[in-house]
Amino acid sequence: MLMIDFANELRESHQRVDEAISRYLIMFLKQDVSLLMQAIRYSVLLGGKRLRPFLVYQTGKLFGIRSSNLNAPAAAIECIHAYSLIHDDLPIMDNDKLRRGHPTCHVKFGESIAVLAGDALHTLAFTILSEAHMPTITDQDRLKMIATLASASGANGMCLGQSLDLINKNNKNISATQLETIYQYKTGSLIRAAVRIGALAAGNKSCDDVLSFLDHYATTIGLAFQIQDDIIDISHAYDQKKKHSMQSQHNDVNNTYPKILGLSTARTKAQDLYCESLTSLKYIAKLGYNVNILSAFSRYIIKRNN
């Protein structure tokens, strides 16, 4: 799979999910000009790589599922991601002033509106999953998607990871194992959910063996993603110092993998996780599935520099 093919797939899924989100905002929310609606639209359509929706689309595509059946889960998981970023940026959390080069939600609209915008996006995700048109998805599989996203985004997933991160922010003796646990919940939960939800869209077409390998794939790339973020932060240290007055969006760098075990070890760990993800995909390929795009995604995760 040529990298340009991967780039095209990433770009197309980005456009597809943004169009879906825009439709669902009109479909499920009152169309007014209140600060709340402005904050919701601003935050969820601000940009970003849309990696989690990409995984929903590509995992579904693995089983021959059309994008029309994947728009809703892809949009829902991006709404959850957007809500989490709004809340993470708040002064009481990471106190970030910029997100993707733009003022964070609370800076632009105020803290109260930002909290409500995050809350609204959280509930919108489940409105989309429960009510949006998914032509060939059974009610049983729809319920499984809802349960998967709820578990991944709540106290058994992303919120747990964020709480552990806050508790250990000033813990100078935190171990690499403890940090990996935080990463697996805080970042990895939604990535695993994206892959599983894409597979759930296939219903009976996805067997337990494939789901198991996909889950391991998602676990490895989820951890690799966060470690690569740490590596990028260290590598851009001088640039971040220059931009200190503007507040980097990676303000929460008290505990990172390179800081605990060193930059070289962090790079080795990311590479090892990349190889593990490919091993899982090889088993899936042996079952007759085309895993080229997912392989390219793994490579992208550890080669990106932003």
Q: Which amino acid is at 113?
A: I
**How far is the CA of 267 from the CAs of 143, 227, 274, in angstroms?**
39, 8, 11
Say if 161 falls within a structural domain: yes
Q: Which amino acid is at 142?
A: R
pLDDT mean over 262-280: 95
Say if 245 falls within a structural domain: no
pLDDT of residue 234: 84
CATH assignment at residue 91: 1.10.600.10
Higher pLDDT, 256 or 217: 217
CB-based burial label for 4 (10 Å; 0-12, 13-18, 19+): exposed
pLDDT of residue 255: 84
Say if 244 falls within a structural domain: no
Q: What is the pLDDT of residues 58-88, one digit of tens each?
A: 999 999 999 999 999 999 999 999 999 999 9
Q: What is the pLDDT of residues 200-254, one digit of tens each?
A: 999 887 778 899 999 999 999 999 999 999 999 887 664 555 555 444 444 444 6
Give me the domain span that covers residue 25.
Answer: 1-238+253-303
Say if 243 falls within a structural domain: no
What pTM was estimated for this model as a whole? 0.92
Say if 92 falls within a structural domain: yes
Mean pLDDT of the chain: 91
Say if 247 falls within a structural domain: no
Q: Are 227 and 272 in contact (CB under 8 A)?
A: no
Structural domain count, the chain: 1
> Which residues of the chain form beta strands (DSSP E)?
98-99, 102-103
Q: Are 244 and 180 in contact (CB under 8 A)?
A: no
Cβ atoms < 10 Å from Cβ of 63: 16
pLDDT of residue 3: 55
Say if 246 falls within a structural domain: no
pLDDT mean over 163-183: 92
DSSP 69: G
pLDDT at 156 over 90: yes
